[in-house]
Amino acid sequence: MSSGGIATVCDIARRRRAMAEFEEWSVVVTHHAERTAEIDRTDDIVLSKELARREVVLDLAQAFNVTERAIWAIIFEAEALRERTPAVWEAFRAGDLDAARVSAIADCAERLQTREAWAKLEHSAPEYAATHTVAELRSWLRRLRARLEPEETKKETARAIDDRRVSITHNDDGTSWLNALLPTGVALAVGDRLRKAANALPSIDPDTDEKDRRTRDQKMADLLAHWLTCSEGTHTDIRAEIAISIAATDLIGLTDGPGLTHDGEPVGSEWVRELAQSEHAILRRLVLDPVGEVLDTTVLSYRPPESLRKALRWRDGTCRVTGCRAPVHETDQDHAIDYDSGGATSASNLRCLCRKHHNMKSHGHLDDRHLDTPRRYVERYLPCPPVVTVIDFVDPYRLNA
C-alpha cells in the first residue's frame, strides 16, 4: 500500500476510534443527566439525593469497567466543553478530535476565566489539536493561557511553587526515585547544567586509564548524587546556560506574555525580567519576518556557523519530524538537499533532526511528508508576530575561566 493509501486508511481508523470515544462520552453524559434529573425531582433529603447521584456514577463506572474518578472526569469535562467551547464538542462528535485532545482542551477551558478567552480557545484549538500530538497540544495550551490570562497564570504558578518539595520512592531492586518539584526555570537550569557537565567528562578515567563506559544518563545521575552529597549550598545560583525567548514588549513590561524555552514551554515573564537584569545575562536579537519566521541566513561552507545554528535551534525548537519532541540541543543540522548535490548551507535548506531521524534520512527512509513546518514565533491566536529577544543566561564561572 502506498504512503498516501495508508494515510487515508489510518485517518478513517482514527476517526472511527474518536467517534466511538464520543459515543461513550455521550452515553455517560446523557444517562447521568437523565438519572440526576429524576433524582432531583424526588422528595428525598439532600444527603439521600447526593448518595443516589453517586450510585449513578458507580453504575456507569462498573458498566464501562473504569474508575468512578474517570466517569466524573468525563462528566465535568463534557460540561466545560459544551458550555464554554461548543465547537470543540462538535469537532469531537465529528471525529476530528479524540478523547485525549478534547480532555486537554477541557482542562484549559476550565482554567480560563473570561468569555473572551473561551472564544479564542474555541476558535483556535480544534485546528491545532487536529494536526499536533497531545504533548504538543498541551504545551500550546499552556502558552495560550499564559498569554490570554497572565495574572491568573501567575497566581496559579505562585500557588504551585508553594508546594515545591522532594520525595523519595523506593523500588524493589535496590534503587530509588528521587523526585523534586521545582519552578520550571530552575528545573531547566538544573537539566542543562547536568547535561553539559556529563558531556564534558573525559572519556578516559584519569585515575584508572580505563574507558568510561557509562551512558550520558548514568553520568548525569552520578553527577547529581555527587553534587547533592558534597555540596552545602543554601541558595539557588544559575550556573548553566539556558536560553529563553521573550517578546521585547513583554521584557520591558508593556505587555505581560510569557517567555518561551527552546521547546515552547512558557515561563513567567517576571522571572525572565529578573534574570535579564543579571550582569551575566547576554541579550541577543532574533530577527523575524512579518509572519514570525526566523529570517534566512546563507553561508558558503558545509558546516553552519554558530550564529546560524542558534537561529535554527530557535526556529525548530525540537527535532523537525512531526510529533518528535527530541530536545533541539540533541539534534543535528541536516541539509535537506545534500551539500554535495548543490544544497546550500542556509536556513531554508537546513533543519534540526535527532540522530535517529537523521540516520533515517541519510539512508532514504525519511520523506518530507514526515516533517513539520518551521516553527513561527507567532501563535495562531495572536494578531501579529512579537518582537523576540533571546536571553542566554551564562555560567559566570565559565566566563572567568
Q: Residue 281 contacts by C-beta under 8 Å, 6 or more apart in sequence?
A: 275, 391, 392, 393, 394
CA angle, 10 as apex, 8 and 13 as ends, to 5°? 110
Task: Give backbone dihedrals phi and psi of 20, rounded to 5 degrees, phi first.
Answer: -65, -40
The helix (run of H) or strand (run of E) holding residue 345 is: strand 345-346
What amino acid is encoded at 116 in this protein? E
Sign of CA dihedral 21, 23, 25, 27: negative
Q: What is the CATH number of the domain that holds 303?
A: 1.10.30.50
- What is the per-residue pLDDT for 163? 93
Mean of all residue pLDDT scores within the chain: 84
Q: Residues 227-262, buried b or exposed e (16+ Cβ, 10 A)?
A: eeeeeeeeeeebbbbbbbbbbeebbeeeebbbbbbb
- Residue pair 382/269 in contact by the 8 Å Cβ criterion: no
3-state secondary structure 13-25: HHHHHHHHHHHHH
Please say which residue of 107, 131, 155 terminates a domain.
131
- Cell reading at 278: 543579571
19, 22, 27, 31: CA torsion to nearest 10: -150
Task: Give backbone dihedrals phi and psi of 57, rounded to 5 degrees, phi first.
Answer: -65, -40
356, 357, 359, 361: CA torsion to nearest 10: 170
**Residue 315 domain flag:** yes
- Cell reading at 179: 523526585
**Residue 166 domain flag:** no
Q: Residue 193 contacts by C-beta under 8 Å, 6 or more apart in sequence?
A: 239, 240, 395
User: What is the model's pTM?
Assistant: 0.71
DSSP letter at 95?
T
**Residue 91 domain flag:** yes
What is the extent of the structural domain holding 341?
A: 298-370
* Residue-by-residue pLDDT tens, the chain, 401 positions: 676 788 889 989 999 999 999 999 999 999 999 999 999 998 889 899 999 999 999 999 999 999 999 999 999 999 999 999 999 999 999 999 999 999 999 999 999 999 999 999 999 999 999 999 999 999 999 999 998 998 898 888 889 989 999 999 999 999 999 999 998 888 888 888 898 889 889 888 887 888 988 998 999 999 999 988 887 766 766 655 667 777 777 887 787 788 887 777 888 788 788 777 776 676 666 666 655 666 555 556 677 777 778 778 878 888 999 888 888 888 998 998 888 888 888 878 889 999 999 999 988 888 888 888 876 666 666 544 555 555 555 544 444 44
- What is the per-residue pLDDT for 398? 47
- Residue pair 263/375 in contact by the 8 Å Cβ criterion: no
**Residue 105 domain flag:** yes
**Residue 366 domain flag:** yes
**Residue 113 domain flag:** yes
SS3 at position 44: coil
What amino acid is encoded at 55 in this protein? E
- Residue pair 301/237 in contact by the 8 Å Cβ criterion: no
- Residue pair 94/87 in contact by the 8 Å Cβ criterion: no
Q: What is the distance between the alpha carbons of residues 375 and 379, in angstroms, rounded to a whole number?
A: 10
**Residue 260 domain flag:** no
**Residue 293 domain flag:** no
Please say which residue of 131, 157, 183 terminates a domain.
131
349, 353, 355, 358: CA torsion to nearest 10: -50
- What is the per-residue pLDDT for 268? 79
- What is the per-residue pLDDT for 272? 80
- What is the per-residue pLDDT for 379? 64
- Cell reading at 375: 516553527
- What is the per-residue pLDDT for 401? 46
- Cell reading at 138: 498541551
- What is the per-residue pLDDT for 247? 78
- What is the per-residue pLDDT for 110? 95
Q: What share of the chain is helix, strand, coil (3-state, %, to 5)?
A: 55, 15, 30
DSSP letter at 317?
S
Neighbours of 158 (CB within 10 A): 10
- Count of structural domains, the chain: 2
Q: What is the distance between the alpha carbons of residues 284 and 269, in angstroms, rounded to a whole number?
A: 17
